[in-house]
Amino acid sequence: MVFSGNIEAQKNARLSDLKGKMVTGGNFGAGIYGNTLYLSLAPQLGYRLTEGLELGGRLIYNLDYYFDPYYGNNAMHHFGGALYANYEIYRGIYVHAEDEQLCRINTNGFIHDASTPRWYNSLFFGAGYRQYVTPRSFAYFVFLYNVNWEYTYNGEWSSPYASPLVYRIGYCFGF
């Protein structure tokens, strides 16, 4: 019995060490723009190594659905993930770096090779601001630049983003 009590005490000590250092949250987006429906879901999980430094990952799903009676409807699904690092430099202002991998799968419509998956790598750098609502939760806005973005010779982008500049708005909770 004493042995199991020591194991339980060590287990509780490890859990208390994590308290206040885990961060969960992410992005959710939806919209209709003309003949396009857009949905985005990107939950994230992070860990604060120090007071200012946070490392983590995001899972990503994006849907772009184009309604086109002439060429046919088209759905573009993007699945993937990202690893990121944030460093808070002053009262909610932080710098951000992220390496994102997305796979695009098209269904139907006007895109050639609709069933062929295509992989994209986006390397983002930027800065953002966190507005703390409670000591452990915040809303954020981050402005990023994709250094891997380019317009290719065949008229396609090297990224699923229409521009190298990307912004995100979200909410996170700390546990």
**Rounded CA separation 14/8 (Å):** 10
The 8-class DSSP code of residue 157 comes to: B
83-140 pLDDT, tens digit per residue, is: 999 999 998 899 999 999 998 887 765 555 556 778 889 999 999 998 988 887 888 8
- Does position 14 have pLDDT exceeding 80, yes or no? no
**Rounded CA separation 43/57 (Å):** 9
* Confidence at 17, pLDDT banded by 50, 70, 90: low
**Rounded CA separation 172/175 (Å):** 10
In the chain, the number of structural domains is 1
150-169 pLDDT, tens digit per residue, is: 776 666 666 777 788 988 88
- Does position 7 have pLDDT exceeding 60, yes or no? no
Lookup: tokens for 52? 């200012």
* Confidence at 8, pLDDT banded by 50, 70, 90: very low
CATH of the domain at 167: 2.40.160.20
Instruction: Give this prediction's pTM.
Output: 0.75
pLDDT higher at 148 or 81: 81
Q: Which domain holds residue 142?
A: 2-174
The highest-confidence range among 18-22, 76-80, 93-97, by mean pLDDT, is 93-97
- Does position 6 have pLDDT exceeding 80, yes or no? no
Write down the number of H helices and E strands in the chain. Answer: 1, 8
21-56 pLDDT, tens digit per residue, is: 888 888 888 888 888 898 988 999 999 999 889 999
What's residue 100's pLDDT?
94
What's residue 95's pLDDT?
97
Whole-Å CA distances, 157 to 119, 120, 126, 146, 160: 12, 10, 20, 12, 7
